């Protein structure tokens, strides 16, 4: 894709779609500013090049209505601190408040428009609304990888009206994940976890076409264990997906993909942080027990696979890692991915949180800012926000 570096931006009004959908606590303090920091390279580049930067984002799901609880005000404040220059907030993303704020922008200044989801037209990808947004600028830069799976007015609609190129974060995300999927150095190992198989069927299907080794852990592994004939007691299980899990196991065999499932698990009688627990072989889960983490033998086996990998994609935790007693499997995997000398890519909110908790974030090649977007990318889907951008000349 053509990037912001391939076009002239000096003195131009540039509309930049960013994903500032960050978590806030009850006092509306930002609890994780990763997405804001990830957008800095593009914003700083535009500032240095003398563009007039107009940022647009959604925050939360305000359902098409202006609502102060979803204002981007805390983001404008945090971004001002990070940039070391004032970022003003326009009262609305279209209409007089937006036009007036844009008209006073000087070269190198930055303006943030208020939440685009205060208008129902945003999520409907209404073209009149998209045209109004686009009319604020002469160029559109999409840097919101995290929202690229949504065909909304501020991600797709606007590209019908002004030239549209990728921002630096967008470019980096698509390059790292695209290269890993299309031109991986081998062995290529994917490690998929999380609670439910149903969330990741498409990802597993697509990865089975590409990887050498697929490791499955977390709650979703129980459905595979059941498919292998083990009893999983009170563990989280998607009974209606057992048949599908069998098919996926068969598909892995057919494709020559090594499928690694847990061989032992940490079980407890209750889903509680201080529940007494023990590690058992997957053949020894009792009727009144539930698996809440992979066991140490599984973790070591997975780690050995990761040690020799040249490309790793990791999405989803191995257990209930928010509870210390059931965090060890995920922690061991985080360490093993960090120690791997190959390309390592981490996507999905929970595995990113695990990597940060373990303080190994800076040892990963790439940590995706996308949740749903990175899942859809791993499913092999074309993201509408990416498809709408201009190709390289
Ligand atoms: C995300 O956080 O995954 C993106 O910002 C998209 O948000 P949405 O799921 O509300 O569209």
For residues 213 and 58, give the distance between their C-alpha atoms in angstroms, rounded to a whole number.
37
Structure pTM?
Answer: 0.94
Is the predicted pLDDT of residue 393 greater than 60, yes or no? no
What percentage of the chain has pLDDT greater than the value 70?
A: 100
Q: Are strands 164-166 and 188-192 parallel, antiparallel or unpaired?
A: unpaired
- pLDDT confidence of 351, banded at 50, 70, 90? confident
Ligand 1 atom nearest residue 58's Cα:
5
Is the predicted pLDDT of residue 224 greater than 90, yes or no? yes
Centroid of ligand 1 to alpha carbon of 375 (angstroms): 12
**CA dihedral in degrees (305, 309, 312, 317; nearest 10)?**
20
β-sheet bridge partners, residue 14: 53, 139
Centroid of ligand 1 to alpha carbon of 371 (angstroms): 7
Ligand 1 atom nearest residue 19's Cα:
5
- pLDDT confidence of 354, banded at 50, 70, 90? confident
> What CA–CA distances, in Å, run from 129 to 71, 122, 126, 160, 161?
19, 7, 5, 12, 11
Q: How far apart are the first and last CA of the chain?
A: 9
Residue of 23, 58, 152, 169 to test ligand 1 pocket, by largest number of atoms within 8 Å of CB: 58
For residues 68 and 153, give the distance between their C-alpha atoms in angstroms, rounded to a whole number.
21
**Which range (152-166, 265-279, 347-361) has the least confidence?**
347-361
For residues 173 and 217, give the distance between their C-alpha atoms in angstroms, rounded to a whole number.
25
Instruction: Read off the pLDDT of residues 94-130 as tens digits, 9 standing for 90 and up.
Output: 999 999 999 999 999 999 999 999 999 999 999 999 9
For residues 52 and 265, give the distance between their C-alpha atoms in angstroms, rounded to a whole number.
55
Is the predicted pLDDT of residue 349 greater than 90, yes or no? no
Write the DSSP assignment of 270-293 as a string of letters.
SS-TT--EEEEEGGG--TT-EEEE
Under DSSP, is residue 381 helix (H, G, I), strand (E, B) or coil?
A: coil
Nearest to 330 by CA among 244, 219, 231: 219
Average pLDDT, the chain: 97
The confidence score (pLDDT) of residue 34 equals: 93
Active site includes 35?
Answer: yes
- pLDDT confidence of 348, banded at 50, 70, 90? confident
- Mean pLDDT over 187-211 rounds to 96
- Mean pLDDT over 196-214 rounds to 96
Q: Which of 64, 372, 380, 381 is catalytic?
A: 372
- pLDDT confidence of 353, banded at 50, 70, 90? confident
- Identify whether the C-beta of residue 349 lies closer than 8 Å to the C-beta of residue 178: no
The confidence score (pLDDT) of residue 26 equals: 95
Provide the total of helices (H) and of strands (E) in the chain, helices listed first: 15, 15
Under DSSP, is residue 333 helix (H, G, I), strand (E, B) or coil?
A: helix
Burial degree of 306 (CB within 10 A; 0-12, 13-18, 19+): buried
- pLDDT confidence of 357, banded at 50, 70, 90? confident
Is the predicted pLDDT of residue 81 greater than 70, yes or no? yes
Q: Are strands 110-113 and 52-56 parallel, antiparallel or unpaired?
A: parallel
- pLDDT confidence of 91, banded at 50, 70, 90? very high
Active site includes 254?
Answer: no
Backbone dihedral angles phi then psi of residue 21, each to the nearest 5 degrees: -80, 80
For residues 17 and 28, give the distance between their C-alpha atoms in angstroms, rounded to a whole number.
22
Backbone dihedral angles phi then psi of residue 260, each to the nearest 5 degrees: -105, 120
Residues in contact with ligand 1 by the CB-under-6-Å rule are: 19, 21, 61, 146-147, 150, 371-372
Helix axes 242-255, 201-208, angle to 10 degrees: 10
- Mean pLDDT over 146-166 rounds to 98
ipTM of this model? 0.99
For the beta carbon of residue 137, count every other beta carbon within 10 angstroms: 23
For residues 333 and 319, give the distance between their C-alpha atoms in angstroms, rounded to a whole number.
11
Under DSSP, is residue 355 helix (H, G, I), strand (E, B) or coil?
A: helix
């Amino acid at each position: 894709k053509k990037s912001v570096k391939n076009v002239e931006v000096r003195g131009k009004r540039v509309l930049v779609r960013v994903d500032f959908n960050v978590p806030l606590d009850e006092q509306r303090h930002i609890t994780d500013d990763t997405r804001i920091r990830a957008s800095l390279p593009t914003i700083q580049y535009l500032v240095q090049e003398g563009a007039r930067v107009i940022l647009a984002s959604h925050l939360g799901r305000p359902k098409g209505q202006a609502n102060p609880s979803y204002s981007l005000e805390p983001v404008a404040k945090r971004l001002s601190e990070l940039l070391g220059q004032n970022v003003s907030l326009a009262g609305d993303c279209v209409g007089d408040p937006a036009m007036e704020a844009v008209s006073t922008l000087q070269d190198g200044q930055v303006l943030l428009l208020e939440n685009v989801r205060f208008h129902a037209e945003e999520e409907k990808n209404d073209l009149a609304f998209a045209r109004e947004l686009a009319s604020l600028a002469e160029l559109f830069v999409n840097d919101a990888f995290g929202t690229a799976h949504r065909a909304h007015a501020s991600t797709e609609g606007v590209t019908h009206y002004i030239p549209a190129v990728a921002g630096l974060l967008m470019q980096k995300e698509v390059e790292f994940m695209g290269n890993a999927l299309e031109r991986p150095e081998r062995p290529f190992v994917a490690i998929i976890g999380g609670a439910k198989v149903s969330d990741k069927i498409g990802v597993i299907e697509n990865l089975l076409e590409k990887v050498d080794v697929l490791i499955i852990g977390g709650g979703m592994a129980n459905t595979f264990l059941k498919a292998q004939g083990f009893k999983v007691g009170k563990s989280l299980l998607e009974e209606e997906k057992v048949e599908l899990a069998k098919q996926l196991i068969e598909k892995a065999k057919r494709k020559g993909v090594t499928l690694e499932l847990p061989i032992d698990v940490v079980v407890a009688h209750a889903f509680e942080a201080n529940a007494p627990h023990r590690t058992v072989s997957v053949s020894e889960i009792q009727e009144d027990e539930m698996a809440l983490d992979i066991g140490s033998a599984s973790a070591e086996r997975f780690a050995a696979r990761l040690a020799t990998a040249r490309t790793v994609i990791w999405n989803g935790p191995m257990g209930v890692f928010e509870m210390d007693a059931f965090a060890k499997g995920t922690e061991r995997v985080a360490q093993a991915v960090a120690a791997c000398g190959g390309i390592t890519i981490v996507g999905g909110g929970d595995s990113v949180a695990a990597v940060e908790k373990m303080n190994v974030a800076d040892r990963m090649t790439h940590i995706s800012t996308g949740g749903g977007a990175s899942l859809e990318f791993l499913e092999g889907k074309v993201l509408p926000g990416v498809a709408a951008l201009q190709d390289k000349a």
